Amino acid sequence: MNTNVGSKLASYRAKRSLAKVNLEEGLRLVNDFYWGILVATQFASDPVNTDPVISYVETKQDFRGQGRLRPDNLHPLILSSEDELPKFGLIVLFSYFEVYLREICMTAIKANPGVVAGAPGSVNGEDIARDEELLSIIENLAAPTVHGWLRGRYAERFKEMRTVFNLGQEITAPHVSALDEYYAKRNCFVHHQGMIDARAKRFFPNDKRNPLGGKLRVDRSDFIALHRAIHACSDDIDSFMMNNHIKNAEVLHILYEARRDHPDWKAKNYNARLQNLRLDMVSRNTIAGLLGISPK
């Protein structure tokens, strides 16, 4: 449990990592794109549709009373959207999630470098948060190792994270089945032109839509299921990493970095920086005491 006793940021408690903030933004963008395209094409197929849910579609006037895009002409576009968007969604969602896992592991190592040597807590991340050169060395040394952990099945990836970070199996176990299933399906699209091989089929044996040797089919329900699994899994991992490894070290590094780059900044400017990164603000008095500046 993160009590932040002795933290340089007093009672401040960082609640989520920058990696998580970036992942959430990526998930939002993919979600908006997916449903925006789907709604736009389906709206176009029904020019008299007045459903307020789709009233925000900016291009609706292109589809109404113009005579340029009739429903019969749009039918192939709609079918293509229904078929291709879920494939796109699976691939891009995993791309964001894999970046998140790499970033959260690197952030945790820089905040608690002793974990790599089996000695967590031997180096206080807050004490080295201003040492850019040391943090860069740690990152360069750890990057190949982290890359090696985060390959293959998610069950194996999380096993490596459990070993290094003492990440409880109960944190990732509820999500492994869905992640491994959709990662296998993602690989069918990426590596086998959508054909289902025996290696992939092992991860979704009860999916009757997708028999061995057939062409993989996914739909909007699959996009929703994977989106939810990634969101929930990253929530659980981030909470553990913040409480047990990262704590306030990342926010401290952001403040020290801003101090170095902007020596004339006032306390309010540092909080503006945190807000811009969508992180919780630190009190002006705490920032002033940390950086030796005026709280005004």
**Where are any strands of DSSP class E within 172-219?**
none
pLDDT band at 191 (very low <50, low <70, confident <90, very high): very high
Q: What is the pLDDT of residues 198-249, one digit of tens each?
A: 999 999 999 999 999 999 999 989 999 999 999 999 999 999 999 999 999 9
The dihedral region occupied by 118, where left means phi > 0, alpha psi between -120 and 50, and beta the remainder, is: left
Please state the separation of Cα 100 from the chain's center in Å. 5
Read off the pLDDT of each residue in 113-135 and give the average, rounded to a whole number.
94
Structure tokens at 31: 């979600």
pLDDT for residue 47 is more than 80: no
Q: What is the pLDDT of residue 33?
A: 85
Asked if pLDDT for residue 74 goes beyond 60, the answer is no
Task: State yes or no: pLDDT of 59 exceeds 60.
Answer: no
Mean pLDDT, rounded, for 109-134: 94
Residue 64: per-residue pLDDT: 37
Nearest CA-CA partner of 159 in 169, 151, 148, 145: 169
- What is residue 42's predicted lDDT score, i.e. its pLDDT? 56
Euclidean distance between the first and the last CA atom of the chain, given in angstroms as a whole number: 33
Per-residue pLDDT, 68: 39
* Average pLDDT of the chain, as a whole number: 86
pLDDT per residue as tens digits for the range 144-158: 999 999 999 999 999
Give the residue ranges of DSSP H helices in 112-168. 132-149, 154-165
Closest Cα partner for 217 from 83, 35, 34?
83
The pLDDT of residue 62 is: 39
184 vs 237: CA distance, rounded Å: 22
The values of phi and psi at residue 239, to 5°, are: -60, -45
Task: Name the H helices within 150-243.
Answer: 154-165, 169-191, 198-201, 220-241
Could you tell me which residue, 41 or 17, shows the higher pLDDT?
17
pLDDT at 111: 97
Q: Of 88-92, 159-163, 292-296, give the lowest mean pLDDT range.
A: 292-296
Task: Indicate if the pLDDT at residue 163 is higher than 90.
Answer: yes
Q: Encode 248-287: b = buried (16+ Cβ within 10 Å), e = exposed.
A: bbbbbbbbbebbeeeeebbbeebbebbeeeebebbebebb
Instruction: Give the residue-averaged pLDDT of 114-139.
Output: 94
Model confidence over 28-43: pLDDT tens digits? 999 888 887 776 655 5
Considering only CA atoms, give the Rg of the chain.
Answer: 23
pLDDT of residue 32: 87
In this prediction, residues 122-147 reach a mean pLDDT of 95
CA distances from 204 to 86, 169, 256 (A): 17, 22, 48
**Dihedral sign for Cα atoms in the order 48, 53, 54, 55:** positive
Is 167 a residue whose pLDDT tops 90? yes
For residues 70-75, average pLDDT = 44
Handedness of CA 256, 262, 266, 269 (dihedral sign): negative
Q: What's the pLDDT at 266?
A: 94
Structure tokens at 60: 């609706």
* Residue 86: per-residue pLDDT: 87
Question: What are the residues whose beta carbons fall under 8 Å from the beta carbon of 2, sequence distance 6 or more?
Answer: 13, 242, 243, 244, 247
Over range 5-14, report the average pLDDT. Answer: 81
Rounded Cα distance, 217 and 185, in Å = 9
- Residue 85: what pLDDT? 84
Mean predicted confidence (pLDDT) in 79-91? 77
